[in-house]
Every structure is written in C-alpha cells, then in structure tokens.
Structure 1
Amino acid sequence: MTVIDVQKNPEALTLTVTARFDAPPEQVWKVWQDPRTLERWWGPPTYPATVVDHDLAPGGAVTYFMTGPEGDKYHGWWRVRSVDAPHGLEFEDGFADDSGRPDPGMPTTTVRVRLTAEGGAATVMTIESTFSSTEDMEKLVSMGMEEGISAALDQIDSILADSAA
C-alpha cells in the first residue's frame, strides 16, 4: 500500500497524508508536473480527472474536473502559490462550478506537498491540507476527502512502474 499514514489534527485544522514510493523524487515529481500524468491519479479510481489548464508555476492555475460513474462532473481548481521542483509545491485548492469558476459556497484548502528522498531510491510524499475552520474541515472530511486522496495516491505506484519501464 502506498499510503503509510493519515493524521487529522482538528486543533491545527490539518489533514496530512503520507505516502511512500519506490522511485527518486525527480521521478515522483513528474506525477504533479505533467498534466496527462496528473489525470491518471488525481481523482479516485471511480472519479477520474481531466485536466483542462495546467500552469504549475507560482501564480499559475490548474483547472480540472472529475467524472463520476454516472457521468456526473465535479469541477475543481488550484491557485499555485509556490513550486520547488522536485521537492514540493503549495497551492490553494477549491471546488468550481460547471464553467470552472470557484464556488464560493464550498470550502477551500491550502495544500503543501513535500517530496523527501529516502535512501536514494525512494520518496516520501507528504500532502498537508490546511482548512480555514473546523466547520470546513468537518465538511470536507465528511464528503470523503481522506478516503479519496488515499485512493488517488494508491494509483501512483503503477504510473511510476510504467515510466520506469
């Protein structure tokens, strides 16, 4: 299993997911850097993502939608705050309406991704989501955020195996 730890900290308003991959950080970074690769894992298996815009640079934006089993679409966006390839990035993450505009009725999170080399040939990825309030955290966790990101991350091993072949 890829995900090795999940920590919810209501006092700090954070959800932190840690995963380990048998690939160096430079290879793992590519799952964020390339929009077609990002599509292969960003959504859980039953909600695959389609990346519409992908500007992974400070001040840039990423827009996407996930398509559910019944064909229903859920739109989202990132505002990229910082990028330190291949070590990490930070972005604001939120929901969008059908035209891709941020949905002000839904919570946003600040996401910090860290890629740390482990023993030269492995990488530990830490994804920390920070919420604006306890209510926002409870809402997103109750919507399945923890299970969704864990299922999404579990798809990365096969992507890394494909790219190593």
Structure 2
Amino acid sequence: MSEQIELVITRTFDAPRELVFEAWTERERLKHWWGPKGFTMQVSKLELRPGGVFHYSIRSPDGHEMWGRFVYLEIVAPEKIVFINSFSDEEGNITRAPFSSTWPLEISNTLTFSEMDGKTKLTLQGGPINATEEERETYEAGLESIRRGFDGTLDQLADYLKRA
C-alpha cells in the first residue's frame, strides 16, 4: 500500500469567515462561483448536514453537462466542512469521471476556514479514499491539473466575494 496522496491548497480571501463559509454552503451563493470558468452550475439538492448530499451539474459553454456530488461527513460552522466528492449521474449515483476510467470514485476533502483581521484563510486538503493502486496513481498524475482547476474555481470565489 502506498502512502496517502494529498492535495493541499491554501488561499486567503478578503472577506469575513462567515461569508466565505456561506459561499460554500448556500445554494444561491454556490451557483455564482462553483465549477470551471465559463461553466454554469445548477444545484439539484443541497442538504447541509452530516450524511446530507450536495448534488449538482455543471454545463460547459458548448453544452456538455457533468454531474457531481458531495456527501457531507462533518460540518462545524463557520470553521470546517468535511465531505466526500464524486462524479455522479443525474440521479446522484456515483459514476466514473468522464475523462478517465481509472480516476478514483471518491475523494475525501476537508475545508478549514480561519479568520485573521477580517480576512479568511481557506485550506483545502483532499485525496482519494477506497482507491485501488491504479486509481491513486491516476490521481497523483493529475495533481497539477487538479490544482489549476481549483485555482480557477477559487479565483471565481474571490471575484464573487467582492460582489457579495
């Protein structure tokens, strides 16, 4: 068994912690920034509680639609969110990533929100769980791409927070 591969991203936002937390947990806020730049997002379900599901779709400018879901494990407002992220179908069932037959089915993520002088430091830590060796290797090979994707999404969050 190989050691756990983990992505760690830290970003500071010029916004109070409560607002940044709400941007991650409220339907009307999430739809303004979650997903790749240029994509539109629809929330199918948002049950913010341990065991609850955030089920969503994102649509590319050319009309390609992908579904995803979070299953929340822990929520400590406004400090921490722990969830399992997966690609899904329209009904919310876990599916393979549309871009890889060896992408892990489940990615564990922990978000921590800490406030410093009216700004919020967000730390995202994540990595595959219940994954095969091949799935872990695929994830590790994709880490730079994942990082770029999150950077773009978090840029959109920063822009949203300026307007919120």
TM-score of the two chains, using structure 2 as the length reference? 0.84
The 3 A distance-change label for structure 1 pair 30 and 15 is same
- How many Å apart are 1:86 and its aligned residue? 0.4
| Deviation larger for 78-87 or 39-48 | 39-48
Higher strand share: 1
Query: How many residues align structurally?
Result: 152
**% of aligned pairs identical?**
26
Cα distance in structure 1, aligned partners of 2:58 and 2:146: 14
The 3 A distance-change label for structure 1 pair 140 and 40 is farther
Any residues of structure 2 matched to 1:1-165 within 5 Å, and which? Answer: 11-103=3-95, 106-107=103-104, 108-119=106-117, 121-132=118-129, 133=131, 134-138=136-140, 140-141=142-143, 144-163=145-164
Q: Structure 2: give runs of 5+ residues left out of the alignment.
A: none
CA RMSD of aligned residues (A): 1.9
Cα distance in structure 2, aligned partners of 1:141 and 1:96: 21
TM-score of the two chains, using structure 1 as the length reference? 0.83
Indicate the SS of the match to 1:155: helix
